[in-house]
Structure 1
Amino acid sequence: MPRIAEARPSAEPSSPGQKARHQRILRAAARQGAENGLERVQMLDVAKEAGVAIATLYRYFPSKTHLFTAVLADQVARLEEATFAAKPGQDPVEAVAELLIHASRQLLRRPLLANAMMQSNNAAHAGTVADAVRIDSTFRELILRTLGLDEPTDHDLRLVRLLEQGWYGVLTQSLNMRVEPADAEADIRLACTLLLVDRSNA
Structure 2
Amino acid sequence: MTGEVRPASPPLTERQEARRRRILHASAQLAGRGGFDAVQMREVAEAAGVALGTLYRYFPSKIHLLVATMQDQLDHMHTTLRKRPPAGETASERVAETLMRAFRALQREPHLADAMVRALTFADRSVSPEVDTVSRQTTAIILDAMGQEHPTPQELSAVRVIEHTWHSALITWLSGRASIAQVKIDIETVCRLIDLTAPPPPPPGTGPA
TM-score for the superposition, normalised by structure 2: 0.85
Distance in structure 1 (CA, Å) of the matches to 2:10 and 2:123 = 17
2:194 maps to 1:196: yes
Extract unaligned runs of 5+ from structure 1. none
Q: What is aligned with 1:158?
A: 157
Alignment of 1:121-200 (within 5 A): 121-125=120-124, 128-193=127-192, 195-198=193-196, 199=198
Contact 2:3 2:126 (C-alpha < 8 Å) held by counterparts: no
Q: What is aligned with 1:105?
A: 104
Q: Work out which of the residue numbers 70, 74, 78 in structure 2 matches 1:72.
A: 70
Contact 1:93 1:192 (C-alpha < 8 Å) held by counterparts: yes
Distance in structure 1 (CA, Å) of the matches to 2:2 and 2:17 = 22
Distance in structure 1 (CA, Å) of the matches to 2:67 and 2:98 = 21
Q: What is aligned with 1:18?
A: 16
Q: Which runs of 4+ in 1 moved over 3 A?
A: 4-13, 84-87, 125-129
Q: What is aligned with 2:205?
A: none
Distance in structure 2 (CA, Å) of the matches to 1:126 and 1:73 = 17
Q: What is aligned with 1:95?
A: 94
TM-superposed deviation, 1:130 = 2.1
Contact 1:92 1:147 (C-alpha < 8 Å) held by counterparts: yes
TM-superposed deviation, 1:126 = 5.1
SS at match of 1:14: coil
TM-score for the superposition, normalised by structure 1: 0.87
TM-superposed deviation, 1:6 = 7.2
Amino acid at match of 1:91: T
TM-superposed deviation, 1:11 = 5.0
Identical residues among aligned pairs (%): 34
Contact 1:38 1:113 (C-alpha < 8 Å) held by counterparts: yes
Q: What is aligned with 2:37?
A: 39
Amino acid at match of 1:124: A
SS at match of 2:171: helix
Amino acid at match of 1:123: F
Q: How many matched pairs?
A: 196
